[in-house]
A and B are shown apart, each in its own frame.
Chain A
Amino acid sequence: MVTALSGDQPPVVMTHKDLHFIHVKQGGLYWVASTKTNPSPFTLIEFLNRFAGLTKDYCGSLSEKSVRMNFALIYELLDEMVDYGYIQTASTDILKNFIQTEAVSSKPFSLFDLSNVGLFGAETQQSKVAPSVAASRPIMSNRGEQGGKNEIFVDVIERLSVVIGSNGVIMKSDIQGEIRIKCFLPTCSEMRIGLNEELSIGKSQLKGYSSAVRIDECRFHQAVKLDEFDNFRILKVCPSQGEQTVMQYQLCDELPCALPFQLFPSVEKDYVNRVLIFLKLRCDLPPKSTALNVSITVPVPKGSVSMSQELSSPDQTAELQTKNKALLWEIPRFPGGAQLSALFKVDVPGLSSASLLEVGPVSMSFELPKQTCTGLQIRFLRLSPTQTGLSHRWVRYVSHSDSYTIRI
């Protein structure tokens, strides 16, 4: 029997006495399915992901606590979604007719609680946009309550994965993007989402002189109507309650804008047993933008014992993680156009010149609120016919790093 899982990386499929266990990990929770047959792993994994997503929709957030508080609701969900081990439905529109239990929110909902502001998809610290808490509440909890606002959130989320060679040449740059909708409207008629008109798709299309926004390929949710997409770049969709991805797109290799960060590292051997790592980091975003939660991880030689650092401002932090043999430099806010530098002195007993090879590659993680690297924008968001009563529409953009690696 499985008694302990190795780290956070157990195999996705485990087998014990003819019984297969398939799991996904979301929100710090393991969602496990067991089967005796040999089904499609794609179906199982997507279903588990969908189940986790629905749980999040219905309970507001995904955590051990919210699951424990809403066990009756989750039992009910599961009962309607799966019968005798067969998937019956996973669509919010159908499920909402059957789900009767109301969610228990794990924290009281307050618009003024801006300390933890973020997207429902990604943790961010953006301000002045819609409070994230507004998006992380149960979709059904608002029957007759005052908090029941007719809100709809449209998020454009882009994930960057970049590899920069030691000579500063970009070796790989990929953007995976998606447009996600989270809808709290109990009933919603057709919604029209207008994208940039000059958006071009595919590598073959000629690029004009204008700053055309280009993506390589895109895929849509099956409910999206595309009859106006080819000419006017308008997506038509009738969003159902809860969270859904209406469009996924990607762009490989030719980024339209400069990379957000440039790193100028230098690594030297100082005294007998000390490595000097000097990092100069420049943020190439437009001056008005800011990068948040920037963290830089630099692998250091094995056997590093201690480190001293010189940072340029007090809100930055740096620490040596001997277990991962890496040093971590964190910058909470990084305005566009700024340049920061830091000097690290790492003590490594028994240092050889070959050990310097172990320094690098540097990996970075960050968030760029209100930014899309492809330049994809939402021109307008129209609900037709106009909904009765007030409805709030929020459009939010965020880019964050999937993997941003810089060789030294």
Chain B
Amino acid sequence: MPYFGSEETVKELKRALSNPNVQADRLRYRDYISKVIRYMTQGLDVSALFMEMVKASATVDIVQKKLVYLYMCTYASVKPELALLAINTLRKDCADPNPMVRGLALRNMCNLRMPGLTEYLEQPLVAGLRDKASYVRRVAVLGCAKMHSLQPSTEIDSSIVNELYALLRDPDPVVVVNCLRALEEILKDEGGVVINKPIAHHLLNRMKDLDSWSQSEVLTFLLRYIPRSDEELFDVLSLLDAFLQSPHAHVAMATLCLFLHYASSHTAVQNDALQRSTAPLLASCGTTSRELRFAGLCHIRQVMRSQPSLFASHYKRFFCSYSEPGYIKLHKMEILVELVNDENVALVLEELRSYCTDVSPELAQAAITAIGRIARTYTEKCLEILTGLLSLKQDHITSAVIQAFKDLVWFCPQSTASVCNAIESCTDRPQDSEGKRALLWLLGEHSEGISSAPYVLEELCADELKTEWSPGVKLELLTAAVKMFLSRPAETQDTLGRLLHHCIEEESDMCVRDRALFYYRLLQRGIQETKRVLSGPKSDPSLSMLTGRQEEPVIRWVSDFNTLAPLMNKHDSMLKESERLLATQPMGVFSALAPLMDNGTSSPLQTERQRRASEPVVTTTENEPPPGDTDTTLSSHGKEDEEEAFCLSASPPLSHEEFEKLWVELQTLHTQNLLAPCAQTAPETLQAILQMVHIQTLAFTPAHTLPWRAFLYTRSAATIILTEILQEEDTVQVSVKQYPENKLALRGFLSTLQSAFQTLNAENTCENVALSF
């Protein structure tokens, strides 16, 4: 910060502080010292005054002492040799008869961050731990942790650790909690403080004496204790029962978290705890502090992952109030969508509709998307609202409505006719690329339903040639034009020709150019061939099963509960997740199965963590929205439709442990060689394709390794089918185990699997062809 004449100021202060007249006048002296602190706070470097400030520390005035100590702690690391001068005063203060002075001196002595301090620290710290004033003991306990952090490499002093463990029995509650905190820091490398049965029970008995801050912290420490028996477990829980309803949100949440962890094998207890926590959760959503509201809402969303209907009767609590900031409104809308049922749908829709014209485009679009999602269940009412919104002719609203239409048509084919009518009568064009892509997709996919489609496309195409659009829009435009050409050739031929010419001759983006070339060559092979490649089903109602709400087990989210994770925006937490995934995955062959292997050695909590970390491999594909890139997935679906006779399903999910147990128990029922040599080149694609036909990939070895292996499972009616795929050189061997046996299901499964592999191969060759252009 540029301070003009800052040197002058420092000199002036120096003169004043060393002036004996000033020093004699207590108030004037203190005034100058607080001036120094003020400049320090504002960012001016006043470290040159260190000598004078050290002198000022020898005083009986406590306010002055505090100010000087504050100064010292800030600048000690800059002037270590001068700070040593202050040590003497500090040590003398550590023996002061006034406990407040003792505590103050000890705390600040530990706060000086400079090398070589430890030798002076040790003696006052040990004395402080045995001080008769609790205030000094509190400071001394944390001082031990500070001292350890000053020289982390040195060995842990076991006598101090023992003393701290003994101080857990201290009568002062803050000393007890500080001991836990200090031990946690000192023993970090050994896994933190050990909570054994006597300590846990001691802490539980002290809970009532603690203040709310300590309570929530102790509850967090107790998470690492595991009750030995059910009897003990229920004793502990009934002891903590009252805290579930604590007026302090942080205590109530920490208690809930503990209940969920402890009762992980007693679902009824978990449900009961969740039920009883609705009141504090809802209360936190109604407080005046909007940040607390936000935290409450984020945690309600977590709870709803397991119990979607828990808050259904309280849906009105999630209506937005107009003065709330956007980040709260967005969460409330998300919750409202989940809570919709037959009784409240009319009110919720009316509420959401009033948000659609919000001043903030972001909120308006979110409200429209929310209505679009409700439309998957309550199609008619929502379509009416969405169509009505189109007449407002506002860019951001039109764009959001068209995007909602796109998703809706994909999930609910019965809405196609109304959507086509709405698009037909809509004269407004979205201006952002997401909206443009959605419109183009609708035009291409449903050109028969929209009579004006070719003319709209022509208009959009003319726009495209004039102004530069994003490559994504251009790709969608190409696809739409070719699809439309297949269904309405006469009206589209001209447009398509011009578009292809433009994209091949003048386009600078290679992706767009290659795609145009690809379509060009494809068309050269004839209409039939093009149709075979491009057309697929226009919607997939079965997908709504996949993306629809499933009741997740509590264990999926409980480790994130009452942490910052639910509050972070999605993007951040997903990044974190993938980083963690990379970090935890060993390089071995069975990467995702690794947690299974060391099951015996690690504690259940840790395995759970690891399992969670490895889960995204499975879950991310599960939630992938399909309409974006449909070319691969569609063709596989055509095949699946032939297998209507039996039905596969991947839910309820099978855990790695369960899979392993079954696999070991069962005999191989069927072995077969498949003619699909390139399964191992794109395991992710394979996984996605299998997902589409409801076969869950549990684990696979990384691509391009030989032998390549994958483990799959699926369920059909009452049987469960486990499969291992093993590829060596040119052969792909499939071994199937089934329980209980069911020949029909097995045959159906094998043909589904085979067609999935064929799709994969077709896809790969397609890509090769495209690349060779």
Contacts and interface: CB of A to CB of B under 8 A. Distances in A.
Contacts of B58: none
A379 B320 CA distance: 35
A76 B30 CA distance: 15
30 contacts: A11-B569, A13-B564, A13-B567, A15-B568, A22-B564, A25-B291, A40-B216, A42-B254, A42-B284, A43-B217, A45-B291, A45-B295, A71-B37, A71-B38, A84-B146, A86-B142, A87-B217, A88-B178, A91-B211, A100-B62, A159-B288, A174-B316, A222-B212, A250-B286, A297-B322, A354-B391, A357-B391, A357-B392, A361-B354, A403-B323
Interface stretch (B120-128, B245-253, B474-482, B582-590): B245-253
Given A13-B567, A71-B37, A79-B70, A176 B286 contact: yes
B732 interface: no
Given A72-B67, A83-B107, A38 B321 contact: no
Given A358-B357, A358-B392, A9 B325 contact: yes
B764 to A, nearest CB: 40
B623 to A, nearest CB: 23
A46 B249 contact: yes
A324 B359 contact: yes
B29 to A, nearest CB: 14
Given A9-B326, A354-B392, A98 B100 contact: yes
Contact of B247 (A15, A159, A221, A407): A221
Contacts of A302: 394
Contacts of B566: 41
A365 B146 CA distance: 51
Contacts of B324: 403
Nearest to B392: A354
B66 interface: yes
Q: Which 5 pairs from chain A and chain B are nearest by CB?
A: A403-B321, A42-B250, A354-B391, A9-B325, A43-B250
A171 B347 contact: yes
A159 B138 CA distance: 41
Contact of A219 (B63, B178, B283): B283
Contacts of B216: 40, 42-43
Interface string A233-270: 00000000000000010101100000000000000000
Contacts of A402: 321, 323
A42 B563 contact: no
A38 B562 CA distance: 9
A172 B107 CA distance: 54
Contact of B357 (A22, A71, A87, A357): A357
Contact of A101 (B63, B291, B393): B63
Given A71-B37, A221-B247, A324-B359, 15 more contacts: A11-B569, A12-B327, A13-B567, A13-B568, A24-B291, A41-B298, A83-B138, A88-B178, A89-B213, A97-B100, A161-B319, A174-B316, A354-B392, A357-B391, A363-B322
Interface residues of A, number: 76
A349 B385 CA distance: 25
Where chain B touches its partner, the secondary structure class is: helix
A72 B316 contact: no
A172 B321 CA distance: 11
B362 to A, nearest CB: 10
A165 B351 CA distance: 9
B174 A89 contact: yes
A133 interface: no
Contacts of B213: 43, 47, 87, 89-90
B174 to A, nearest CB: 6
Interface in A66-104: 71-72, 75-76, 79, 83-84, 86-91, 97-98, 100-101
Contacts of A22: 291, 564
Nearest to A87: B213
Interface string A351-372: 0101101101101010000000
A41 B564 contact: yes
In this complex, which of B37, B245, B291, B295 has the most chain A Cβ atoms within 10 angstroms of its Cβ? B291
B460 interface: no
A405 interface: yes
A47 to B, nearest CB: 7
Contacts of B248: 46, 222
Contacts of B63: 72, 76, 100-101
A282 interface: no
In this complex, which of B34, B292, B350 has the most chain A Cβ atoms within 10 angstroms of its Cβ? B292
A8 B325 contact: yes
Contacts of B319: 161, 163, 172
Given A83-B139, A299-B357, A46 B250 contact: yes
A345 interface: no
B371 interface: no
B295 A75 contact: no
B148 to A, nearest CB: 11
A325 interface: yes
Interface in B410-429: none
B619 interface: no
Interface of B: 34, 37-38, 41, 62-63, 66-67, 70, 100, 107, 138-139, 142, 145-146, 174, 177-178, 181, 211-214, 216-217, 220, 245-250, 253-254, 279, 283-284, 286, 288-292, 294-295, 298, 316-317, 319-327, 347, 350-351, 354, 357, 359, 388, 391-394, 562-569, 572
B350 A165 contact: yes
Given A15-B568, A38-B564, A86 B359 contact: no
A220 interface: yes
Nearest to B562: A40
Contacts of B388: 357
A86 B110 CA distance: 15
A40 B394 CA distance: 42
Interface in A140-198: 159, 161, 163, 165, 171-172, 174, 176
Contacts of A355: 392
B323 to A, nearest CB: 6
A7 to B, nearest CB: 8
Contact of B253 (A23, A40, A84, A217): A40
Contacts of B217: 43, 87
Contacts of B67: 72, 75
B359 A325 contact: yes
A171 B319 CA distance: 11
A121 to B, nearest CB: 8
A42 B245 CA distance: 15
A39 B563 contact: yes
A124 B66 CA distance: 39
B563 A84 contact: no
A277 to B, nearest CB: 15
Contact of A407 (B138, B177, B354): B354
A88 B138 contact: yes
B359 A299 contact: yes
A341 interface: no
Interface string A11-35: 1110100001011111000000000
A49 interface: yes
Contacts of A91: 211
Contacts of B322: 297, 363, 403, 405
A89 B289 CA distance: 21
Contact of A72 (B37, B350, B392, B394): B37
B247 A248 contact: yes
Contacts of A163: 319, 351
A86 B564 contact: no
A326 interface: yes
B359 A326 contact: yes
B339 to A, nearest CB: 14
Nearest to B73: A79
A66 B311 CA distance: 42
Contacts of B100: 97-98
Contacts of B393: 352, 354
A248 to B, nearest CB: 7
Contacts of A8: 325
Contacts of A72: 34, 37, 63, 67
